[in-house]
Chain A
Amino acid sequence: DQQVKQNSPSLSVQEGRISILNCDYTNSMFDYFLWYKKYPAEGPTFLISISSIKDKNEDGRFTVFLNKSAKHLSLHIVPSQPGDSAVYFCAARATTSGTYKYIFGTGTRLKVLA
């Protein structure tokens, strides 16, 4: 049972344009959502996050939008750069008795074309 889904396995975007990566979830108890960027043979690096009580968080070129009613979040990268080419994972945090569990999607491979 995949609680966090990234339905697009890959995405190609021209340099300078907007990249939009999508993520859907099923558990309404998730309290925090995060995006990670991963290069091959490396650990994921944290990019940006959003609390479940907010609908938008912005950090430089990266903006995350959360639509709780649709159980959907998206990551916007503007403008896209070739160095942004990587696999992007969305993750959701569940808190149970003070313990945090992070559930990850399957990732979207972004390719930014120069």
Chain B
Amino acid sequence: SQTIHQWPATLVQPVGSPLSLECTVEGTSNPNLYWYRQAAGRGLQLLFYSIGIDQISSEVPQNLSASRPQDRQFILSSKKLLLSDSGFYLCAWSGTGTGIYEQYFGPGTRLTVT
């Protein structure tokens, strides 16, 4: 069965510091991968999605970037964090075959920028 991992679970970082959040998927190959952010009291905002290695699409201009160095690894980064980057970050995957529709989420990372 498929499993999606995210780490760390929680992170407190000062403004201006770098960020690296990691997501890995097991039990599937060539998944579509996604990064979402849920700000306090808000819905899920799609940040990035990827259909393959080094193929990243950005949904909103922002202070973040994403990379996919391996098929089942997705990394969210920032060179200098802003206060507004605080939120709950979620990684998700979906299949690419016919008849596969659902998207599955990892446990999330709570980021607090101080």
Contacts and interface: CB of A to CB of B under 8 A. Distances in A.
Interface in B60-114: 88, 90, 92, 94, 96, 101-108, 110
Contacts of B105: 36, 43-45
Interface residues of B, dominant DSSP = strand
Given A41-B88, A99-B32, A107 B103 contact: no
A105 B102 contact: no
A52 to B, nearest CB: 11
A46 B90 contact: no
Interface in A33-77: 34, 36, 41-46, 49, 51
Contacts of B44: 44, 89, 91, 104, 107
A6 B104 CA distance: 21
A98 interface: yes
Interface residues of A, dominant DSSP = strand
Interface residues of B, number: 25
A34 B106 contact: no
Residue picked from B49, B88, B103, B110, most chain A C-beta under 10 Å: B103
A42 B102 contact: no
Contacts of A102: 34, 46, 92, 94, 103
A41 B46 contact: no
Interface of B: 32, 34, 36, 42-46, 49, 51, 57, 88, 90, 92, 94, 96, 101-108, 110
